[in-house]
Amino acid sequence: MEPFQFNHKRILVTGAASGIGLAIARAFARSGAIVAIVDLESEKAVMIAKSVSESSRTHCFGFGCDVSNEASVAKTFAAFGDALDILINCAGIAHVGNLLSTSPEEMDELYAINVRGTYLCMRSALKLMILAGGGIIINMASIAATAGLADRFAYSMTKGAVLSMTLSVAKDYISHGIRCNCISPARVHTPFVDGFVAKNYPGREAEKFEALSKAQPIGRMGTPEEVASLALYLCSDSASFLTGVDFPMDGGFFNLR
C-alpha cells in the first residue's frame, strides 16, 4: 500500500462502517487521505471515523446517510464540503432468493439501496467533480453481475445495474477528466458472511464456512483488505489509463472452475 499516497485527497466511502467499506476507508486514511465515512448508522459512523483518525493520524469524518434518500444524500455531500476527489460506493445489502421466492417488497428494497443509492451518490459526486475538472469513482459490483448464481435473483439484478451504470458514467464523463470503474468480488469474508452462516446453519457453521470458501477455486474467501488494496491502485495515478472497466476479484471463480 505504501507506493499509493493520497495526501490531502478528499474521499467519500459509503457503507464504510463495516466490511469492505471500512477496510477501504482505513486503507485510504493510512495513505494520507481525508476520508468521509458514510453509513446508515450515524453514531457508528462517527465513532469509527474517530477511531480511524486516531490510528492513521489523518482527518476522518463520520456521517449518517440513507443512500436511497435523495435529501439525505444531498445533505451528506454538502456537509463534507464543496470538493471531492474520489467516491467509493460500497453501501449495499444482500438477499437470498430466486424469482418466485423474492417478494415485490424485497425487490424494491434491493433496488432502493443498491441501485438508486449508487445512482444518487454518483450524481452528487459528479456535480462536484465536473466543477473541479476531474475525479474518480469506484463502484462495488459483484461476480453476481455477470454470473448466474443460484438464489441470488434480486441481488444479481442490482449488481448488474451497478456494472451498467459504471460503464455509462465512464463513457459520458471521460471528457470531464472523470474515471469510473467497478470491482466485482467473489465471496469476501465479512461480518455479513458470519451472520448469514450463524443464522441459517446453526450447529453447522464450520461445515458451511468451508463449503463457501471452496466455492472459489483458490480455496478460500477474499478479505476486505485485499479489495481495499485494489481500490487504492484503481484510484492512484498508476491506474490513470483505466476507466470503464469491471475488475473481477474472484479467486479463479470465472476461469478456473
List residues with catalytic annotation: 155
Q: CA 196, CA 14: separation in Å to the nearest integer?
A: 22
Reference 143, options 220, 225, 253; nearest CA is 253
Q: Which residues contact 180 (CB under 8 A, 6 or more apart)?
A: 122, 136, 137, 138, 139, 166, 169, 170, 173, 243, 244
Please give the DSSP secondary-structure letter assigned to residue 29.
Answer: H
Q: Side by side, which strands form the sheet with 60-64?
A: 60-64, 34-39, 10-14, 86-89, 135-140, 178-185, 246-249
Based on its alpha-carbon atoms, the radius of gyration of the chain, rounded to whole angstroms, reads: 18
Cell 472452475, residue located: 257
- CA angle, 86 as apex, 82 and 89 as ends, to 5°? 110
Widest CA span of the chain, in angstroms?
55
- CA angle, 225 as apex, 22 and 7 as ends, to 5°? 70
